[in-house]
Each structure stands twice: as C-alpha cells, then as structure tokens.
Chains A and B, each alone.
Chain A
Amino acid sequence: MSNIIQALETLGSKAMHASLYAATIDSLVLGREERKAMLDRDHAALNELMGGPKKMVFAIMAADEEA
C-alpha cells in the first residue's frame, strides 16, 4: 500500500485529538513532500503526489427518471 493511502487510512481509523495531529504525522512513514502535504492538510497536493484524477463525477441520482 502506498505511504499516503496507508497514512490516510491510519488517520481515518484513529480517534485523535487535534493537538496530536502533528505528532501523529511525524510517527508515520512518509516522504518529505508527503509529510508537508499532510501537515498542511493539502488535499490537492496529496492527490497530485498520488497522480489521482483532478475531476471526479459521482452523481448517481436522476431527478427525473422519465426524462
């Protein structure tokens, strides 16, 4: 698993006080840019580092099925 995704999964599963955020990030295995993006809470930078698509479409509801 990539470091970023693994770090996000770990963070997502932890009950963590906001004051412990930086220390928790420090404890994770991350590269310099990855760590900076995490500390900056920079979603776009993380996505860029992972090479994810810039745009996602995810509407799965139609207002009018008869349209």
Chain B
Amino acid sequence: MSQQGSLACVGLGMMLGAHLSPRSRSHIEQADVVFALVSDPLVELWVQEMRPDMRSLQPFYNEGTSRLVSYGAMVEAMLTDVRAGRRVCGVFYGHPGVFALVPHKAVAGARAEGFEAVMEPGISAEDCLYADLGIDPGKYGCQHFEASQLMFYQRRIDPTAYLIVWQVGMAGDRSLARFSTGPAYRRLLVELLAKDYPLAHPVIAYEAATLPITAPRMDELRLSDLVDADLRLQTTLVFPPALPMQRNQEMLDRLALLDREMEEGKCRQ
C-alpha cells in the first residue's frame, strides 16, 4: 500500500539557531520533501545544511506577476508532493501562521483533500518585537494591520492602543506585483494615519534580528518622517498610543449595580 501523504508547515523563528523548536526540527529532518521560504540568505543556507535536498520557494516570486499567482503556485507545489504520497514539510521564517497566506492555504488545501496537515508555531517578528521594544500588548491593547489593507479598507484605528503596521515597504501596492513602493505611496499612508495621530507622533521602525551576530533595528522616527524613511519589506512600524484610555463609566456603573444585586441575591448567575 502506498504511503499516505501529509503536510507540516513549521516555523523557524526569526533568528538562526535560536528559535527552532525540537518538534519543528524533527518535521524538517523526517520529511520526504522540504520546501523553504525564509527572509535571510544565511538562514536559507542553514536549512539547506539540515536538508541538502531542500527546495527553495524563492523562484516562485516574479516581480511584475501578482504575488497571489506566486502564492498559488507555492501551495500547489507542496500539495503535488502530498498527493504523491510524500511527507512534505514547508519551512517558513517566523511563525507560519502569522501574516502568512501560503502556509494557511496549504494546510487548508491538504485537509480539504483528506490529507493530514499540521502547523507548528514559531517565534514570529511580533514576538521579537514585544521583547526588543519592551511592549506588552495587554497593557493598552494592540492593533495589527497589514499596511496596504489599512489603506484599501475603511478601518477604525484606536489611538489609545498600540498600532502595529506590517509590510510597510509595499504600502499601497494594489497590483501585488511589486516588492516595494515609494514615497508617494507612503505620503498617502501618512495622510491616513494623520487622522488619528499628530505628524510629530513617535513611531518605531522595527526589524527583528535574523542572525545572532546582529541587533534588531529599532529606529525612532516621527510620523511625518515615514515618507522618506528607509522602509523595507521586513520593516514593521510600531505606534505607541497617542491618547490615554477613557474609562467607560456607563459600563462601570452597570457592573457596580450588578455586583450589588449579586451580593443581595437578587440576580442569578
């Protein structure tokens, strides 16, 4: 009987040698076929050292072609081997399920066709960001948006919480066929954000360290600086809250009333 194919999408974490879980490493070592998409050439070489037969997903990108086409081809490449009865491992930088369409689509596609598919979490850029910047997302709350999505759709930003904006280097790219946009596009993003933040509001340009010999990028800028700032594919913007949280007195009063009723036995839990 032929072997049933399966898929495991695993996260490498952000830093070479520092973040890979034993379980994800085991998937990489035991798979029949390993595909990889990582953010650093040396990290890709590290995966290649673990699996010399590793297939990089880099060649699927083609500037000028919609990334949705590339993503579909990446998913199909992995599923083709799953259908052929192989144990396939997709290795992705960071966490394979955070701001990552391809692993989610691949796992869902494999399951829809009746194959076993799992996702193993990894340490994401978001996790590194909290540690490096000393931010606790629970302190004031934290909103995350993909930069272009923030521009394309009507969203409600809460300036009393942290705001984290991803993929800012490609902000405003409607074609999904470019790997970067420029100042003119960022000017529109700044205009949008200036509805909720003063132009002098601090913003941190953050990039997680991918090698143990390098430091994370944590450049403090102002909102107005973003137009001409060096913002790359891997840059994430972090906006501290601009306003203090406002107490919801109406809800607090209702809760106090409820507490009293509970104490007096007037109300059932």
Contact = CB atoms under 8 A, between A and B. Distances in A.
Interface stretch (B93-101, B110-118, B190-198): B93-101
Contact size range, A: 20 to 34
A52 interface: yes
Contacts of B147: 63
Nearest to A25: B213
B67 A9 contact: no
Contact size range, B: 35 or more
10 contacts: A4-B42, A12-B16, A53-B41, A53-B44, A57-B58, A58-B39, A60-B103, A61-B167, A64-B149, A64-B174
Given A60-B101, A61-B146, A67 B174 contact: yes
Interface string B160-194: 00000011001001111001000000000000000
Given A52-B42, A56-B39, A60-B103, A8 B148 contact: no
Looking at chain A's contact residues, the main secondary structure is loop
Contacts of A1: 49
Residue of A4, A10, A43, A61 most packed against chain B (CB within 10 A):
A61
Interface of B: 15-19, 37-42, 44-46, 49, 58, 61, 66-68, 71, 92-93, 99-103, 146-149, 152, 166-167, 170, 173-176, 179, 211-214, 233-234
Given A41-B214, A61-B146, A67-B174, A5 B42 contact: yes
Contacts of B167: 59, 61, 63
Contacts of B212: 8, 11-12, 14
Interface of A: 1-2, 4-6, 8-14, 38, 41, 43, 46-47, 50, 52-54, 56-65, 67
Given A60-B100, A64-B152, A52 B45 contact: yes
B74 to A, nearest CB: 8
A54 B42 CA distance: 10
Given A58-B39, A63-B152, A52 B44 contact: yes
B18 A41 contact: no
Given A8-B16, A43-B214, A67-B68, A56 B38 contact: yes
A1 B42 CA distance: 13
B68 A58 contact: no
